[in-house]
Structure 1
């Protein structure tokens, strides 16, 4: 009896220890995030002059750091999710590679999108004071960060670019009316809601179809892989060379179309030549199975994810610190004309470190959503997703189409999933287009024909894409701009009331 009571007490103590550990772990991430924001405030104080305007810049720096944390938590999952879902990378490995590449891209080639924010999206009027413009940008940053934070909690990958755009529009309208917004730019952004995922999905499905036809569905899979895997690696090398030239290093270099094309041909041929002996060596002794062939795509997939992260850091860091750079420029010049603003290195440092810290602390949830909860991934499918994401951005940039890298990546995941579902259900009667006579008859005395039909569908027709995630993500995309705009307007009125 005494022993039983002692066992119960020991179990209670063990449960208490487990609960305490879980609580401390859940509090550690917010605590570390707070320390980062404190460091951002100190860094800004070192570079900003004292005075009322200087204090606004310091506060804006903290908000920009908060935005960078949320970009790391939400947006980076698009690049690393498929790699983790396919088991090519562990969660720790993915976070480590992404954090290094994101921060490196932000610091070495941080994109300058202040032009879009200040001159293409808004038309600051003469009646908008420097303080008013500062409040517009602060409200845009805070509202978009809050919206992305909410989306991350709900497990929905959203476009951080669209969040910032919605925030700038909402606070801009609140400050100076509808005439302040460039509505032609807004039309292009709305168009990207459809263009981006459609292009990404179609291209990913096409790449997977080609890979299946040339390698996976062949009788001699290993021999086919020795021929076609180097070709696919060469294609990846060419695409990423052009991608990095056009997008990753856009702040440092503005090459012509011909230079980009020549760079792609050069690196494509180099990638093909170098990968041939590697593939031949790795394929020795492989079993003639699709699962064995998948291993040949693991290393190229890791490189693709790393390069996507570098380019993402180079381009999307300005979503966090672009408005802050505009605020700094206004504080220095006492003018709202910020069309030629460059990103100072200390501002870039806040964005780069924030993205890396946010990814490490809060990124795993969205990485699992993108890589595991939409559809099942393997190395080949994940490789097609990564390659199609980079290719789609290149094609859209060449054609001048407005696209979102987030929407492209998620669309590519869905495209791969729906192709798998389509091929898996090939030959199975579809009740929407086939006569009922093709389906099974009732198997029990109490089963009606309708119930037999439903049960047959449930057994035979496979749904390899989880619809609830598709609907939830699509809904989050649609309401991102209006939600962040409305929230930004409310935040602007609050800031205006406080600042006076």
Structure 2
């Protein structure tokens, strides 16, 4: 039905749409706390987050290589021209559903789930890289929120200890300024991890179509994905900002600094290891950790239950849509 070059162009365009929705959906990760604590205006926060997401997206390719060759076996799916498109449809569908309802689910795991579902639709479970999925997806899925919770708790506890004899007003005044640094670090680490995921999926498409010989990200792919992420961030996701910044725990500047600093450390570390972690999972867990350092009752644990439910559903739901999308597209193609 389509010439291969036309289909490849379509896949790249849809991938960039996903990257755009990812930026719009996940910009809250970088700016929710700094907006909710009224350190800066929403407009300034979104503009700064967009610029820093752009810069972070160009800093590495380890996560892109994981998405390109660590989830499915490229040699097994070689020639399946609709596979990547089906994966993207699954991810975008789940992103749109959760964006509409203001649920801070994971765009990362939506993309991975869509890719897994489409690959299984193409050739069964033999298409999957089981070691890569366990080591780079499932373990980080569990460990990154736990690490975020612990880091948020410990950083906040350390701040309480250091600032115990300082007037609360002076502490918050200082951290209003320091939170600008932590929010910037968070936005950069978000771009470093999240934009690379689309780079990896586009590179996998190029490999399937025989346009590249290995999972090495071309420069034009880096630039296009970084720009799409930045433009999506500029649009913003205000429903998710409200959930992240207000419903979990009543944040003050010191809490925002601790949560963003903790999340940035976890996400940057994962990026260097090539693990496509969820920035949403991580920052949410950090906020829970920060709130728990004050007292457990300060955190709205009912919201935690809703978020965990969304996290659990993301992989299988997007995989199911990816599986169905593969067969529909395969039917159209043939």
**TM-score (normalised: structure 1):** 0.62
Deviations along 1:255-301, one digit per CA (max 9) or x if unpaired, are xxxxxxxxxxxxxxxxxxxxxxxxxxxxxxxxxx3023211112221
The number of equivalent residue pairs is: 332
Assess if the C-alpha contact under 8 Å between 1:111 and 1:317 holds in 2: no
Counterparts of 1:394 and 1:173 in 2: how far apart (Å)?
31
CA 1:476–1:309: 2 relative to 1, 3 Å: same
Deviations along 1:4-53, one digit per CA (max 9) or x if unpaired, are xxxxxxxxxxxxxxxxxxxxxxxxxxxxxxxxxxxxxxxxxxxxxxx811
Task: Work out which of the two has the higher radius of gyration on C-alpha atoms and give 1 or 2.
Answer: 1
- Correspondence for 2:18 among 55, 62, 67: 67
**Secondary structure of the corresponding residue to residue 82 of structure 2:** helix
- Correspondence for 1:313 among 188, 191, 204: 191
**Secondary structure of the corresponding residue to residue 61 of structure 2:** coil
Partner residue of 1:293? 171
Assess if the C-alpha contact under 8 Å between 1:84 and 1:94 holds in 2: yes
CA 1:394–1:62: 2 relative to 1, 3 Å: closer
Assess if the C-alpha contact under 8 Å between 1:84 and 1:368 holds in 2: no
Partner residue of 1:211? 159
Shift of 1:149: 1.7
Deviations along 1:216-266, one digit per CA (max 9) or x if unpaired, are x31xx1xxxxxxxxxxxxxxxxxxxxxxxxxxxxxxxxxxxxxxxxxxxxx
CA 1:398–1:354: 2 relative to 1, 3 Å: closer
**Secondary structure of the corresponding residue to residue 299 of structure 1:** helix
- Correspondence for 1:479 among 300, 308, 313: 313
Q: 1:106-185 maps to which residues of 2 (within 5 A)?
A: 106=57, 108-109=58-59, 111=61, 113-125=63-75, 128-130=77-79, 132=80, 134-185=81-132
Shift of 1:174: 0.5
Counterparts of 1:73 and 1:392 in 2: how far apart (Å)?
22
Shift of 1:392: 2.9
Assess if the C-alpha contact under 8 Å between 1:297 and 1:379 holds in 2: yes
Shift of 1:62: 2.2
CA 1:400–1:153: 2 relative to 1, 3 Å: closer
The answer to whether 1:100 aligns with 2:47 is: no
Q: 1:422-437 maps to which residues of 2 (within 5 A)?
A: 422=296
Counterparts of 1:96 and 1:309 in 2: how far apart (Å)?
11
- Correspondence for 1:195 among 143, 146, 150: 143
Counterparts of 2:273 and 2:75 in 1: how far apart (Å)?
32
Quick one: higher RCO (CA 8 Å, sep 6+), 1 or 2?
2
**TM-score (normalised: structure 2):** 0.90
Counterparts of 2:210 and 2:41 in 1: how far apart (Å)?
45
CA 1:469–1:73: 2 relative to 1, 3 Å: farther
Which residues of structure 2 form unaligned runs of 5+?
A: none
Shift of 1:181: 0.7
Shift of 1:208: 1.0
CA 1:61–1:401: 2 relative to 1, 3 Å: closer
Partner residue of 2:3? 52
The answer to whether 1:410 aligns with 2:284 is: yes
The answer to whether 1:388 aligns with 2:262 is: yes
Counterparts of 2:75 and 2:123 in 1: how far apart (Å)?
8
Assess if the C-alpha contact under 8 Å between 1:76 and 1:359 holds in 2: yes
Q: Cα RMSD between the aligned structures? A: 2.4
CA 1:329–1:366: 2 relative to 1, 3 Å: same
Structure 1 runs, 4 residues or longer, greater than 6 Å off: 397-402
Counterparts of 1:399 and 1:135 in 2: how far apart (Å)?
30
Counterparts of 1:350 and 1:166 in 2: how far apart (Å)?
23
Partner residue of 1:343? 218
Assess if the C-alpha contact under 8 Å between 2:66 and 2:274 holds in 1: no
CA 1:401–1:298: 2 relative to 1, 3 Å: same
Assess if the C-alpha contact under 8 Å between 1:171 and 1:492 holds in 2: yes
Partner residue of 2:200? 322
CA 1:142–1:110: 2 relative to 1, 3 Å: farther
Assess if the C-alpha contact under 8 Å between 1:195 and 1:403 holds in 2: no
